[in-house]
Amino acid sequence: MTKHVYTFGAGQAEGKANMKNLLGGKGANLAEMNLIGVPVPPGFTITTEVCTMYNEQGQQATFDLIKPEVEAAVALVEQLTETEFGSKENPCLMSVRSGARASMPGMMDTVLNLGMNDDAVEGITKKSGNSRFAWDSYRRFVQMYGDVVMDMKPASKEEIDPFEEIIEELKEEKGIQLDTEFSTDDLKELVARFKAAVKKVTGKDFPTDPWEQLWGAVAAVFGSWNNDRAIYYRRMEQIPDEWGTAVNCQAMVFGNMGSNSGTGVAFTRDAGTGEDIFNGEYLIDAQGEDVVAGIRTPQEITLEGSKRWAKLQGISEEERASKYPSLEEAMPEMYRQLNDTQQKLEDHYSDMQDLEFTIQEGKLWLLQTRNGKRTGAAMVKMAVDMLEEGRIDEKTALKRIEAAKLDELLHPVFDTAAMKSATVLAKGLPASPGAATGQIVFFADEAASYPESVLVRTETSPEDLEGMNIAKGILTARGGMTSHAAVVARGMGKCCVSGAGAVKINYKTRVMTIDGKEYHEGDWISLNGSTGEVYEGKVSTMDPEMSGNFAKIMDLAQKFTRMSVRTNADSPADAQVARDFGAQGIGLCRTEHMFFEGERIKAMREMILAKTEVDRRKALDKLLPYQREDFEGILEAMAGYGVTIRLLDPPLHEFVPHEEANQKDMAKEMGISVEDVKALVDDLHEFNPMLGHRGCRLGNTYPEITEMQARAIIEAAVNLTQKGVDARPEIMVPLIGTVKEFKLQADIIHATAKKVFEEKGAKCDYMVGTMIEIPRAAMTADLVAEHAEFFSFGTNDLTQMTFGYSRDDAGKFLPIYIEKGILKNDPFQVLDQEGVGQVVKIGVEKGRSTKPDLKVGICGEHGGEPSSVMFCDSVGMDYVSCSPYRVPIARVAAAQANLK
């Protein structure tokens, strides 16, 4: 028979730490603490499976099933605490709390002081000798239970809580200001009025039977799994809906029973820095909620911490010691026990613990322990420290790294204090992490007008590239996490906030308007690329510390990885950054970005304007030396590693100006009429450029473009090889959908290479492969692999086409889709393994079916996202490639994937 209820108490427990899936994190740790001799109030856990049953089969069937087990468990609690549920003499009071597999703090419901009624309050009065305490507990219980279980909520968000309303009324009647001024009789009056209100609003009597109370509370906790804020939190944290929550019922302990009682929270190490310093806060004569409420100032647990705190606050040692003594000073024995316990818990779990404790009349109780949340820096330090302390092995240290959090370590950040006092103007998407402060410019070619500028655009285009590189940060009004601005900015490691809808831009007047307020060119703003916030004025920043621990983690990643990590880089500088981060090769070098500077764009436009192959070749001849030079630089920067160079990909209209002023410039420069420029732009217009004349469709309609690019690459590689540089170009044909498209391009490349080798009398190594980014290419990958030497999955476009989403337009429905749970994640950020992943898998399998040693990688944005990297490992890819600043993240994720 399945067991639904697991008891714990007095050093015994039916559960243990590794039963988190069944008992939830809290329940499993409560059991474990019992087993290792940490004092925990006795209680029991109703499993997460019961929650699932509750949601599927309803309350009646579920409670009928678990009733005997719950009754037995309550009996055990009564026995261990020598109390009795509802007793007038020795009543048993309980807490009922949620506890899911993953921590969801504050999202679900809790009921405290359960078991309280007119009899029990007398028992508590007798036991505590404190009738005010007893009645206050009773009052709190009715209020909490009425709210949580009986749904006594404000009628609308404009109205106040019905219980608070009664409290306010009574205060007025009594002429008092604070809750603490209520007398015991006042509290009795409140209990009476609360119950009457419940009856009036719900039509039901407030339950006096502790059992009825208990079942009501359990039902409320299960039900709260599906309240709006819990659902929202799960979406945010990617917690599956089907996990469910456990319910933990535990004997109450009270920190508010006088000066020998208290309550607090503590961390076994510093969650901000990772230092091995026990720290935390507590309050004497208080309940847990008082620590949070902020009415009283919590005190530090350790003397050292208390002194540091006082110094920061400007409080004298005298005042500190008298008014805010540490627990170490105030209750030395309790402190000793707590310190022993935290040591024991960290030793036991081998990880930094986040504890909750209560001291009831000189006895220490632990109410919770869990692995503590920490900053990226702390995460790295703790993992390395614990490895060096011998607490954990290398694999465990590596697993401790939440790869995505490494991002925090790689970009400049705002000074925390400065950020807190800054005015938030607008909020967009955290498109590229980091912090930027600068003066507003509206045009990319004016980015250099100020020493520190922030480029503000409705959206960016490839023409803006140079300016984006110069600006300190980029703010766009439109576009998502994978808009042009976002992708390019991440590639550059440049701070970017995209899609800030409140931002309206008038290019003519050079004014940005937010909520009616105008900002002009030259005004200072600051961007937080990690939160998406836009601040008014200057906010000071600080550089991140790249400590030696970071390097140690990278070494571990290198040791345990199967896949290698490459970078997406279009310049020698980017390549160098990525190499410093440990990238082993370039997975995607886009050649089109090389066409925008100075004379190049002119030659490119000549090529586009050319009516005949002869004229096109003339223009291409001008581009050849630029390209060759670029490739030499990049191949040299990544010497010894493969450099995947993608041939021209974007549609030609991206190389012509769409704004009238720029069209005039182009006409002048090219010596043609503005009408001709406009006609050209019109002719190049496409309804769906994403699905238009681009990629190898250009190379197949104008083979001379491919020929020029192949020549530039091969000449560059031969030149370097002759200089003794180990150049390894891998020429990649983009956007193929049929094997013939690839074959024709590959034939041109091979023929060109042969010609160059003959001309130069020297050779170089090179490979020819293709990007798999069109569903049809994956479906026919067996045919393609007969001719291609490598595949690189372009999962950006593959996601667009497999979903039928334009990432430039999806902003209109993607947020709603995520909110409604249609999608768990933005598929442009997290690879959709269910759908797109299948296409990738088919592509890899079919490709290897005809070429078993086919080299396979990924070069979409997903290559730097941990869960996507794990997927790439699982389908057997050889490498992932991502933007330089995500290389460390991908390296850790790749190693972790291999450890699984």
Which residues are part of a known binding site for Mg(2+)? 773, 797
- CA neighbor of 34 nearest in space, from 235, 201, 195, 251: 251
Residue 13 CB, nearest distance to its own copies (Å)? 40
Residue 261 CB, nearest distance to its own copies (Å)? 50
- The tokens for 383 are 């993992």
Q: Which is nearer to its own copies, 513 or 738 (CB)?
A: 738
Helix (H, G, I), strand (E, B) or coil at 774: coil
Q: Which is nearer to its own copies, 440 or 696 (CB)?
A: 696
Contact predicate 197/166, CB 8 Å: yes
User: Number of C-alpha atoms within 13 angstroms, CB side, residue 522?
Assistant: 1
Residue 776 CB, nearest distance to its own copies (Å)? 4
Residue 820 CB, nearest distance to its own copies (Å)? 7
Contact predicate 45/27, CB 8 Å: yes
- CA neighbor of 404 nearest in space, from 376, 435, 372, 374: 376
Contact predicate 261/287, CB 8 Å: no
Helices (H), 225-370: 228-237, 288-293, 303-313, 317-323, 327-330, 332-349
Residue 58 CB, nearest distance to its own copies (Å)? 20
Helices (H), 249-297: 288-293
Residue 364 CB, nearest distance to its own copies (Å)? 49
Burial class (CB in 10 A: 0-12, 13-18, 19+), 723: exposed
Residue 784 CB, nearest distance to its own copies (Å)? 11
For residue 450, report the phi and psi dihedrals to the nearest 5 degrees: -125, 150
157's CB contacts (< 8 A; 6+ apart) are none
Cα four-point dihedral sign 565, 569, 575, 580:
negative
**C-alpha distances in Å from residue 226, one per residue of 66, 816, 898:** 21, 19, 35
- CA neighbor of 288 nearest in space, from 302, 298, 276: 298
Residue 859 annotated in active site: yes
| Residues tagged in the binding site annotation | 590, 646, 773, 794-797
Angle 887-899/866-874 helices, nearest 10 degrees?
50
Residue 484 annotated in active site: yes
Q: Which is nearer to its own copies, 693 or 754 (CB)?
A: 693
Positions that interact with its own copies (CB under 8 A) = 686-693, 697, 700-701, 735, 737-738, 740-741, 744, 773-776, 779-780, 797, 800-806, 808-810, 812-813, 816-817, 820-823, 832, 834-836, 838-839
- The tokens for 859 are 């070069």
- The tokens for 456 are 């503000």
Q: Which is nearer to its own copies, 153 or 678 (CB)?
A: 678
| Residues tagged in the binding site annotation for substrate | 590, 646, 773, 794-797
Residue 778 CB, nearest distance to its own copies (Å)? 9
- The tokens for 890 are 């991908």
Helices (H), 794-865: 795-803, 814-819, 836-850
Contact predicate 585/857, CB 8 Å: no
Q: Annotated catalytic residue: which of 4, 484, 787, 862? A: 484
Q: Which is nearer to its own copies, 86 or 479 (CB)?
A: 479
Report d(CA 61, CA 69) in Å as an integer. Answer: 14
* Beta bridge partner(s), residue 524: 439
Q: Annotated catalytic residue: which of 92, 589, 696, 859? A: 859
- The tokens for 49 are 């499976």
Q: Which is nearer to its own copies, 460 or 584 (CB)?
A: 460
For residue 513, report the phi and psi dihedrals to the nearest 5 degrees: -115, 130
Strands of the 299-300 sheet, one edge to the other = 299-300, 279-284, 262-267, 353-360, 363-371
Residue 97 CB, nearest distance to its own copies (Å)? 31
Which amino acids are annotated catalytic? 484, 859
